[in-house]
Amino acid sequence: MLFGMNTTTDSTRRIEGFEDTVKDFWVSRPRRPHRGRKLAGVAAGIGHRYGIDPAIVRVVFVVLTVFGGVGLAFYLLGWAILPEEGDDVSGLEGLLGKGRSSMSKGFTLALCAALVLLGLASFSASWVDGGTFVGLALVVAGVYLLHRSRGHLRRPAPTGGVATGPAGMTSTGTGGDAGMWGQPVSQAAPTWDPLGADPLGWRLPDATAPTPPPPEPPPPPRRKSKIGFAVTGVALAVGGVGAALAAEGVPWFTPAHVMGLVLAVLGLGMVAGSFLGGGRGLVWLAVPLALVGLTLSAVPLEHVGGGFGELRATPTSADQVQPVYERTAGDVQLDLTGLSGSDSARTTVRSGAGNVTVLLPPDADVDYRCEAAVGNVECLGQEHNGIDTPELRGVDPGTDGEGGPKITLTAKIGAGNVEVRRG
């Protein structure tokens, strides 16, 4: 006889120390259900085991994948070590001959190979500075604290058949000295009468079946919680402060890091909401922001200060040319057609997002460098477009050959267009 997703609650169970917690987690691992799953049932199994909305678990996997790259590796690990509903052991244990698993050995080997490759990729090149180790530490600490606080609830029932051993011994489990859920339950039929009477002389009433435990009471109705509004407010405040610091040119506060801080606040809010009841609507805010964060992490955008808005400059002499013209987000237009004669100038024009336009004198000798992380570059007759386009560089003496103003120019854009032409 097989047991499905039956659960029990043991309020008397006491877990002492780190080692006991790890052992108890292993013997009462979540089971991957057949119903309510989106892919392999890892998130659904964790949510059912600890009484957490599976949507929150899925968002945690997505966030860990975006910032640190370990989310997908942890999902594959759960796929390999968490037994499926109705199986005796997990796919990895089945591969080692520990019991029956519905996962084929070939698929298990492919899963393990993908897990090793993803793990090596995550630790060899983190998507965000140090994100892999931070994500690993957060997952280990989160699972440990979650099991310490809720490990006694909704414990999976034992699985496996009933085997008959010597001398009438019966056991329930996966066999061996200890099954997947701990020591097997054994009962032995007595082979002697302690009173020394004839067994046929006893006329006892037939044994009645044990009374089944009462069903768990239905969960109380969900109360309206304000945690979603509170977390959204904190996330907006953190994002606003981070954007302001980025505009001021504080080095660490890049767009990717600011987005990571906002997602961290939302993630903590969803975890708190899973315990306090509420905050489910934060998922719809976290998912699109996670996609934006993935884009910011994958595209090599350089941090640019200068604030927001349009910048226009028209210097008429070399003394008026600034070393840098920049905007965090906005258009930058620099008109250098006023330079003449023996003027010599060096400047950099850049923007995080927007358009960069530079107008040059027809007779100027120009040493130029133009590049864009995402967008189109048109620089004195050369053109490139796409993502992480190669740098365009060269020397252009102008229409009259060498002579006239000498300009050294660097034009850069994070996302947008760069145009350098003669006026």
pLDDT for 61-102, tens place per residue?
Answer: 887 776 666 788 888 888 988 999 888 888 888 888 888 888
pLDDT confidence of residue 141: 79
Distance from CA of residue 404 to its chain's centroid? 56
Q: For the chain, which residues score pLDDT lower than 70?
A: 1-17, 66-69, 119-135, 158-210, 216, 219-225, 247, 249, 274-280, 294-305
Burial of 261 (0-12, 13-18, 19+ CB in 10 A): middle
pLDDT confidence of residue 185: 35
pLDDT confidence of residue 335: 94
CA distances from 135 to 29, 74, 130, 132, 218 (A): 21, 10, 9, 5, 35
- Residue in the structure block whose two tokens are 């252009």: 396
pLDDT confidence of residue 309: 84
- Cα–Cα distance measured from residue 150 to residue 152, given in angstroms and rounded to the nearest whole number: 6
pTM higher than 0.95, yes or no? no
- Residue in the structure block whose two tokens are 């796409």: 386
pLDDT confidence of residue 219: 61
- Cα–Cα distance measured from residue 264 to residue 138, given in angstroms and rounded to the nearest whole number: 11
241-267 pLDDT, tens digit each: 888 887 676 777 777 778 888 888 887
DSSP character string of 114-149: HHHHHHHHHHHS-SSTTHHHHHHHHHHHHHHHHHHH
- Which strand ranges, in their side-by-side order, compose the sheet holding 162-164? 162-164, 170-172, 185-187
